[in-house]
Amino acid sequence: MARRGKHSFRLLALILCLVTVPALSVQAQQLGLPQYAILTISTDRMFAGSAFGQRIARVIEVQSAVLAAENRRIEAELTQEEQALTKQRPEMDAQTFRALADEFDQKVQLNRAAQDAKARELNQIGDTARAEFLSTARPILEALMREAGAGVILERANVFLSANSTDITDLAIARIDAVIGDGTVVPDTNPLSDNP
């Protein structure tokens, strides 16, 4: 009799497991989540496709245009200055010309260094924004992973072969956009804001 009770208990536990697992699977499927132990994501596409990433792209595009215009203006000014110096050369002694030419070369180098530094700062804005975005997205991705019953999310670019249905990039973008929008709610203690 005790043996029959023990057997019935095991059978009941097995039935409960079989009922619970499909219920979780159906719930995840209703949320539009793939049911795989391993999910894939393209972090590049996730960043570029998100409202946050698109805002950063616009900020960088505007600042790049400003920097390009500034470069053209400086180049035109230096070209004019060089031409004026070349015209004055016949009227100067060699020592005076050499001093002015050296001064001009130094000015060119300083301008180039300043503009290169601005370009590096612009690149840094993108790198900083991406790191901030991925940090903010991490808990959202962890929740997606749990909801799908997955144990890992792999970078799609590093996966040799996988079914497209394992890719959660579009779903991740939608969830991240719903939580953080374009990221303007982030405090203005970083260079990522459109506002000066």
Look up the pTM and report it: 0.70
Domain ranges of the chain: 1-30, 31-180
Q: Do residues 166 and 34 lie in contact, with contact meaning Cβ atoms separated by under 8 Å?
A: yes
**Helix, strand, or coil here: 112?**
helix
Rounded Cα distance between 27 and 32, Å, is 9
Q: Tens digits of per-residue pLDDT, 105-131?
A: 999 999 999 999 999 999 999 999 999
Q: Give 93's contacts (C-beta < 8 A, 6+ positions apart).
A: none
33 pLDDT tier (thresholds 50, 70, 90): low
Range 25-48 average pLDDT:
75
Closest CA to 72 of 111, 42, 110: 111
| Tokens standing for residue 24 | 């979780």
Rounded Cα distance between 119 and 33, Å, is 41
Range 152-176 average pLDDT:
91
165 pLDDT tier (thresholds 50, 70, 90): confident
Report percent pLDDT > 70 for the chain: 77
